[in-house]
Amino acid sequence: FNIMKLKLKLKSIPFSLALTALAFLTPVNAVSAGELTVGMAMPCKSNDGGFCEAHFRGLEAAKAKFGIDSLVIDNAQTPEDWVSSLTTLAENADLVIGVGAQFDEAGRVVAAQYPDTKFMVVNGSTDAAIPNLFAYGVRQGVPAYIAGVVVANIGGINNFGFIGGLEIPPTIQSDVASRAVAAEYGMNYLSTITGDFEDVPKAKSAAEAQIAEGAQAIYGMMNGGIVGMIQAAEASASRPYLFGSIFPRCDSYDKMVGTAVANADNLVVAMIGDAVNDTYPATPQYYGVENLDIQRFELCPNFSNEKLQKLVDETTAGIVDGSITLPDGV
């Protein structure tokens, strides 16, 4: 571990906190010195092929665009880790970004302790008493709703399942959206929260249970755990349709229908751009599907036919123009 590569500001870090942080501190290649040092804390690995890697790519893109310096702590998995990682970054960065709603409470706690440091939490919230805390994110229930409409129009689907990881706002929003579509189209609905976005065996067990109950299509609000869902679907006699989130995994299963794509690259660049330009939002900045460069529902090639693509386009347009009213909580 070479701390100088991170271009840290040499402030005092309590020894016990430093030991905790070093367990997951990831050096990032240094860039030419900039005026802004950005620290990013993530609840999963920066090369996870999913949620965290997407945000890490955004940080790399922002480095190239703005010439910032950066510091990353990844794989912070417990509430204690979330607080300690944000604290460590606050000691060494001008802007601290917590990736995911896991950092919502920790962001409020730490931001209040470091009023001279700016904080942003992805899928977080703000507090009028903490003016240096900002929230950004995507309303992941919106593309989940579009996915549900696709499920209802594939044909022959009577049992629709949902499997989510942690019970945090994006998961709840996606569950509410999927449940609402099932009710609208008269489908039976199955919902399972595993408590972990990454745990493959838990996701596999949840999918096996839903398949045994007759699920013909399952939406996975998962990160690495979606591999378990795919394993269960592949091994089953019925081989249900699957839907994923964040990153497309169309090549992983021939009945993967589509993905609620969240382009965190562009989201993170926009967030850091606000910091560079000192144009922080007065209220939380959340995206539905108004900006397709940040979030959209995307069909996999095997299912990208004229009928389903038209359905996706029309549903997206209806949500944006208000002709389709989304259920409360989405």
What average pLDDT does range 249-277 have in this prediction? 95
The pLDDT of 133-146, averaged and rounded, is 96
Q: Answer whether residue 70 shows pLDDT above 50.
A: yes
- If you count DSSP H runs as helices and E runs as strands, how many of each does the chain have, helices first? 10, 13
144 pLDDT higher than 80: yes
| Residue 64: per-residue pLDDT | 95
pTM of the model: 0.76
In angstroms, the CA 116 to CA 72 distance is 20
Query: Is residue 37 within 8 Å of residue 69, measured between CB atoms?
Result: yes
pLDDT at 34: 57
Average pLDDT over residues 48-72: 93
Show the tokens assigned to 269: 């660049």
> Please, which residues have CB within 8 angstroms of residue 107's CB and are 6 or more apart in sequence?
86, 98, 119, 121, 124, 133
Is a pLDDT exceeding 70 seen at residue 182? yes
Is a pLDDT exceeding 60 seen at residue 33?
A: no
Which range among 144-148, 164-168, 230-234 shows the weakest confidence by mean pLDDT?
A: 164-168
Residue keyed to tokens 């703000």: 126
Residues 181 and 151 sit within 8 Å (Cβ to Cβ): yes
Q: Would you tell me the crossing angle of helices 226-235 and 200-212 to the nearest 10 degrees? A: 40
- Report residue 205: phi and psi, to 5°: -60, -40
Query: In angstroms, what CA-CA distances link 65 with 79, 120, 152, 197, 272?
Result: 32, 19, 42, 31, 10
